[in-house]
A and B are shown apart, each in its own frame.
Chain A
Amino acid sequence: MGVSVTEQPLIELDGVEKVFDVRRKTGFLKRERRQVRAVDSLSFTVARGEMVGYIGPNGAGKSTTIKMLTGILTPSAGRLRVAGIDPSRERTRLAHRIGVVFGQRTTLWWDLPLIDSYRLMHRMYRIPDARYRENLDRCVELLELGDLLESPVRQLSLGQRMRGDIAAALLHDPEVLYLDEPTIGLDVISKAKVRGFLKELNAELGTTVLLTTHDLQDIEQLCSRVMVIDHGRLMYDGALAGLHEVGESERTLVVDLERELPPVDVAPARVVKVEGPRQWLAFPAGESAAALVARIAAEYPLADLSVREPDIEDVIARMYAGAVPGRSEKAVS
């Protein structure tokens, strides 16, 4: 109609907080009360059609955020909107517009054939027949569920079950899909299937996806944007490449020398830990490991070695500590 509409973000958080009262037993009938701030003045928006990775160490506040976005938990303070709805106030109305997959717990019916769980969704969400059939057919095809529909859920493997759960969350055409660790415990092939499907879902239907994970590959393959949360605060919000730059600056070289020796001195690596003949050396991620290894082998009696990529937890931990090591080292070539 020619009316220009500035599109509202699908998800909006403004100064959202969640404080838990923790009661701890300190003796018989004696309790200590303590307040834990799980989420602290969190503000961000997610536009329609975005695919966002939400990462952080255990206990950082990822799940708490997801639970507030789905209406499971009520925020202690701040403003929160999903598709214009206040989740905790209108939880059941919001449920029609969101899909949720909890990686650690299934919504499928354990003892019944997989198709029965979908039929329940069909009726519970009052999905029009044509939409239901169309969505089910698409999910069955892309998630390769065809042979599993008549099997009881208890007989499915973890990967099959996860695919089944993802399909169950999508039958009612949700505008946004939350995935809480969707690839946890899956083998490589299952992970690839899940990722491929999510990518297609986002590209074809424009479904907004917010996923939490510990697997950096999930983010690398799926998300154009990543948010890092720690201690309930947003530490980083941007492209994955930027995260590498800010945090992932060091790899670790573990060397086993033939005997106990003083710390290896080979720039730009620096020894971070010594345990008998084994030493841990940190070096900038951009440096070649091969050159470094060659020099150590030339100068020290080397028995064995391995290179460790920095894992996501380390990256985040370093980000939180505000330390960006490796920058001031002088490069020696």
Chain B
Amino acid sequence: MGERGTLLEGLRAFRLIAGMWIRSSMTYRTSFVVTMAGNLLMTGMDFVGILLMFSQVDSLGGWSLPEIAFLYGLSATAFGVADLVLGSMDVLGSRIRDGSFDTLLVRPVPVLAQIGADHFAVRRLGRITQGALVLGWALWSVEVDWDPVKVLLVPLMLVSGTVIFSAVFVAGAAFQIYAQDAAEVQNAFTYGGTTLLQYPPTVFGKDFVRGVTFVLPLAFVNWVPACHVLGRAYPLDLPGWAAFAPPLVALVCCALAGLAWRAGLGSYRSTGS
């Protein structure tokens, strides 16, 4: 079975397991409806916070509201898709501690797909919906001289961004297996990452931006390519081609995350009994 076969097999397993979780959650109907509504409200409030900020100021770090919405929409949508597929990594920690991770390892489908679909909840769609809505509004209201390259950059950013976030999720999962439990460390990078990407790079210190560009390359999810689309100066005086680097960065992240995952599984120690 080649890499492609494994991927298809993984997606199939994901669908099967996610379906079971959705049906499980349906057995508690009231809880299902309440968490769904609560979640939509929570993610919605996220952007409302930024709107409130702009009711007091005209720009943030020199960026207008539609421009910030552009950053926000790109980051939130890309993160939303990654979160939909791999967002249950915090359940991984408890599965490792209570030993039920073992039961996933004896099944004939990729573990990563099983972990991704673990405790799957429809509410994870809320984040994507909200991100896509904000992105739609931004594209409609932002002032850009659209040319074919800029138009093409938008889907490219979304795909690369999703892959980069996914790689961070997977690397975090690998670290959780190694360290037995480190869900909070992982959350800092994933949820923390998407939150910081909702603000323009100009509001952060230079060393911080360097870290987010060269160490954990989240800057390529939206900052760098968005600067090209919006006709703004690149952070850190990066060269012009940097705006087109996201697919390459995503590929490298994927490869590294894959290696980390394999090493993590190899170091799995299970529990006592």
Interface string of A35-71 (1 = CB under 8 A from B): 0000000000000000000000011000110010011
Contacts of B99 in A (CB 8 A): 102, 104-105
Pairwise interchain contact B24-A73, C-beta atoms closer than 8 A? no
Q: Which residue of B lies closest to A21 (CB)?
A: B269
A300 CB contacts on chain B under 8 angstroms: none
CB of A77, distance to nearest CB on chain B (Å): 14
- Are B16 and A123 in touch, CB under 8 angstroms? yes
Question: A40 to chain B: closest CB distance in Å?
Answer: 17
Interface flags for A123-137 (1: CB within 8 Å of B; 0: not) read 111000000000000
Tell me if A96 is interfacial: C-beta within 8 Å of chain B.
Answer: yes
A73 vs B266: C-alpha distance in the bound complex, in angstroms? 8
Give A100-131 as 1s and 0s: 1 = Cβ < 8 Å from B's Cβ atoms: 10101101011110001000100111000000
B20 at the interface (CB under 8 A from A): yes
Q: Which residue of A lies closest to B9 (CB)?
A: A92
> In the complex where A105-B99, A123-B16 touch, is A74 in contact with B266 (Cβ < 8 A)?
yes
Q: Does B56 interact with chain A (Cβ within 8 Å)?
A: no
Residues of B within 8 A of A88 (CB): 266
Instruction: Contact check, A111 vs B270: say whether CB atoms are below 8 A apart.
Output: no
Bound Cα distance A20, B271 (Å): 11
Whether B106 and A72, one on each chain, are in contact in the complex, defined by CB atoms closer than 8 angstroms, is yes
Residues of A within 8 A of B273 (CB): 58, 63, 104
Main secondary structure of the interface of B (DSSP, over half): loop
B105: contacting residue among A71, A105, A109, A152, CB under 8 A? A71
CA of A1 to CA of B128, assembled, Å? 62
Smallest CB separation, B5 vs chain A (Å): 11
Q: Give how many A residues have a beta carbon under 8 Å from the other chain's beta carbons.
A: 33
In the complex the two chains form, what is the Cα distance from A64 to B269 in whole Å? 9
Known: A67-B270, A72-B268, A105-B100. A98 touches B106 (CB 8 A): yes
B residues 102-135 touching A (CB-CB < 8 Å): 102-103, 105-110
Q: Does B55 interact with chain A (Cβ within 8 Å)?
A: no
Cα of A101 to Cα of B23 in the assembled complex, Å: 24
Who on chain B is nearest to A104 by CB? B273
A261 to chain B, nearest CB (A): 44
Give CA–CA (A109, B23) in the complex, Å. 10
Tell me whether A91 is interfacial, beta carbon within 8 Å: yes
| Residue A95 is within 8 A (CB to CB) of chain B in the complex | yes
Q: Is B27 an interface residue (CB 8 A)?
A: yes
B253-273 near A? 1/0 per residue, CB < 8 Å: 000000000000010111011
Docked-complex contact B270 and A109, CB < 8 angstroms? no
Q: Which residues of A contact B13 (CB under 8 A)?
A: 124
Contact assessment for B16 and A124 in the assembled complex, using a CB-CB cutoff below 8 Å = yes
Contacts of A116 in B (CB 8 A): 20, 23
Kindly name the residue among A20, A67, A74 whose own CB sees the greatest number of chain B CB atoms within 10 A.
A67
Interface residues of A in 126-168 (CB under 8 A from B): 152
Closest approach, in angstroms, between the C-beta of A118 and any C-beta of chain B? 12
Interface residues of B in 7-62 (CB under 8 A from A): 13, 16-17, 20, 23-24, 27-28
Q: B24 contacts A100, CB within 8 Å?
A: no
**Using Cβ atoms and an 8 Å threshold, which residues of chain A touch B16?**
120, 123-124
* Smallest beta-carbon distance B265→chain A, Å: 9
What residues of chain B lie closer than 8 Å to A67, measured between beta carbons? Answer: 102, 270
Q: Which residue of B lies closest to A20 (CB)?
A: B269
Known contacts A105-B99, A105-B102, A112-B27: A72-B270 contact under CB 8 Å: yes
Question: Which residue of chain A lies nearest to B28 when distances are taken between CB atoms in the complex?
Answer: A111
| Chain A residues with CB under 8 A of B272 | 59, 63
In the complex, the answer to whether A70 meets B20 with C-beta atoms within 8 Å is no
Q: What's the least CB distance linking B13 to chain A, in Å?
A: 7
Bound Cα distance from A265 to B100, whole angstroms: 53
| A-chain residues with CB within 8 Å of residue B28 when the two chains form the complex | 111
If the complex has contacts A72-B102, A102-B102, A105-B99, are A110 and B109 also in contact, measured as CB distance less than 8 A? no
With a cutoff of 8 Å between Cβ atoms, the chain B residues found around residue A91 in the complex are: 105-106
**Which B residue's beta carbon lies closest to that of A18?**
B269
Pair B107/A95 contact, Cβ less than 8 Å = yes
CA–CA, A200 and B107, complex, Å: 25
Q: Which residues of B contact A110 (CB under 8 A)?
A: 24
B20 touches A100 (CB 8 A): no
With beta carbons under 8 angstroms apart, the residue of B23, B109, B270 that contacts A124 is: B109
Query: Once bound together, how far apart are the Cα atoms of A123 and B269, in whole Å?
Result: 29
Determine if B24 and A109 form an interchain contact, defined as CB atoms under 8 angstroms apart: yes
Q: A105-B99, A111-B27 are in contact. Are A120 and B108 (CB under 8 A)?
A: no
Expressed in whole angstroms, the Cα–Cα distance for A152 and B28 within the complex equals: 13
Q: Are A73 and B106 in contact (CB under 8 A)?
A: no
Q: What's the Cα separation between A170 and B266 when bound, in Å?
A: 27
Q: Which of A242-277 contact B (CB under 8 A)?
A: none
- A64: chain B residues at CB < 8 Å are 270
In the assembled complex, 18 residue pairs joining A and B whose CB atoms fall closer than 8 Å, in A order, are A63-B273, A70-B106, A71-B105, A72-B102, A72-B106, A73-B270, A92-B107, A92-B109, A95-B108, A105-B100, A109-B20, A109-B24, A110-B24, A111-B27, A112-B20, A112-B23, A124-B16, A124-B109
Sample of 7 further A-B pairs with CB below 8 A, known A73-B269, A116-B20: A64-B270, A70-B106, A92-B107, A92-B109, A104-B273, A105-B100, A124-B107
